[in-house]
């Protein structure tokens, strides 16, 4: 999982990060929270270092993630 809060003045870098996360197979839960079912931690860390985003981006290794959707809440 990748969580980021990149300032507006660094919008171009934020867009580059999002584009690269998509290429790596990430999907977003919210605008700044992205998850991926693949082991791409090293690639993400390299990306963060390349663009000097360490101050703005946090990575997490999640073993299991349950996502409750509106449909599952209603029992449908």
pLDDT tens for 37-73 read: 999 999 999 999 999 999 999 999 887 767 666 565 5
Give whole-number Cα distances, 59 to 19, 30, 31, 33, 54, in Å: 16, 15, 15, 10, 10
Range(s) of the domain holding residue 8: 2-73
Show the tokens assigned to 14: 């934020």
- What is the count of structural domains for the chain? 1
pTM of the model: 0.81
- Of the candidates 43, 73, 52, 11, the residue with the CA atom closest to the CA atom of residue 2: 43
Pick the range with the lowest mean pLDDT from 6-10, 29-33, 66-70.
Answer: 66-70
- What's the pLDDT score for residue 62? 83
How many percent of the chain have pLDDT more than 70?
86
Show the tokens assigned to 34: 């992205």
């Amino acid at each position: 999982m990748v969580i980021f809060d990149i300032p507006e003045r660094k919008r171009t870098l934020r867009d580059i990060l999002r584009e690269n996360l998509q290429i790596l197979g990430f999907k977003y839960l919210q605008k700044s929270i992205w998850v991926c079912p693949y082991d791409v931690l090293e690639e993400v860390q390299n990306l963060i270092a390349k663009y000097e985003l360490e101050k703005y981006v946090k990575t997490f290794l999640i073993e299991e993630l349950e996502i409750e959707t509106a449909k599952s809440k209603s029992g449908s």
